[in-house]
Amino acid sequence: MTKNKIRIGVLGFGGLGQAAARILQPKSEMCLVAVADQKGYAYNSNGLDCDTLISIYHEKGSSGYLPEYGVLSDNSIADLISHADVDGYFLALPNLPNTFMADVTRQFISSRWQGVLVDALKRTSAVEQLLKLQADLNKAGITYLTGCGATPGLLTAAAAIAAQSFAEIHQVKITFGVGIANWEAYRATIREDIAHLPEFNVDKAKAMTDAQVEAFLDKTNGILTLENMEHADDIMLELAGICDRHQVTVGGVVDTRNPKKPISTNVKVTGRTFEGKISTHTFTLGDETSMAANVCGTAFGYLKAGIKLHERNLNGLFTAAEIMPLFVK
């Protein structure tokens, strides 16, 4: 039963979307009622069964094949928006091309749907595109929280909190480690990471076939080492008044063949206290927590916070550095 539960839709049903569905399954405060992928969507106002949905997706390639509740569609997102009664959507979508998330947002604005949107965007330039839609989102009655994954997201919020000890911030350094057993479970996410490498860009990464990605990963033994990434933590902390974006650096290591994190994930905030002392706060995520847990758990925490904002008619665009996520039971 969805009575008194926040009705959730998940757009994108790859590795991240499926992980989001599994995280929602035992929740008492939220209920998954809608999902969409490239070929179709599924909607049940009383809730969707996670295991059945994932099984159907792997067997037939789309949630649209779900008996009774699935619909095949070449325009799945727009069709779902118009048919489903949903309080908030998690946009578990790859931002490939780099304009994709802004384009999806325009679909919501033009649909006259009102509610809460949350994404886990990574790139600074993608968030900048959403900022241009601030007035349109506010007018449409949509509360949108952007950059609400692990980083940007959980670590950005931690940096904003850690900054309170200092009179002046000198540096925010985010280092992440991600381990996944098989890159094909997170194809879009891995392509986005490849796009951050010096010899690639978003368009080149998007154009790669699975075979080309596999061949590239063979050359690197499945390891992606990322440095000085274009990461939205910088603009989010700048907008929140914590520091200038050039003081924020983000990098990490992704192991696409091993579920164990290759390095620990942390954020280090260095600054000067009012007594004139230089110090560093470090916030480290437990190595046992997966990318899926840290990204999706954070996203739903922000979605719950977004619902509270929406109920108070606070619409428009917010970032993970401005709003405190709420724990979802």
Angle 297-130-63 from CA coordinates, rounded to 5°: 50
Among the listed residues 83, 196, 238, 310, the single catalytic one is 196
281 - beta bridge partners? 269
Q: How far is CA 241 from CA 44, 160, 237, in A?
A: 42, 9, 6
204 catalytically annotated = no
Distances (CA, A) of 275 to 55, 192, 296: 59, 43, 39
Angle made by CA atoms 133, 138, 140, in degrees to the nearest 5: 95
In the residue annotation, 170 being an active-site residue is answered as no
Choice among 170, 192, 275, 311 that is catalytic: 192
Q: Which of 122, 206, 231, 304 is catalytic?
A: 122
- Which among 205, 184, 207, 182 has a CA at the least distance from the CA of 193? 205
CA 81 – CA 171 distance, rounded (Å) = 42
The residues near 27 (Cβ < 8 Å, ≥ 6 apart) are 5, 300, 328, 329
Within a 10 A sphere around the Cβ of 174, how many other Cβ atoms?
26
Q: Which helix (H) or strand (E) holds 219?
A: helix 210-219
Count of other CB atoms within 10 angstroms of residue 328:
20
> What single letter denotes the amino acid at residue 193?
D
59 classed as catalytic = no
Active-site residue list: 122, 192, 196
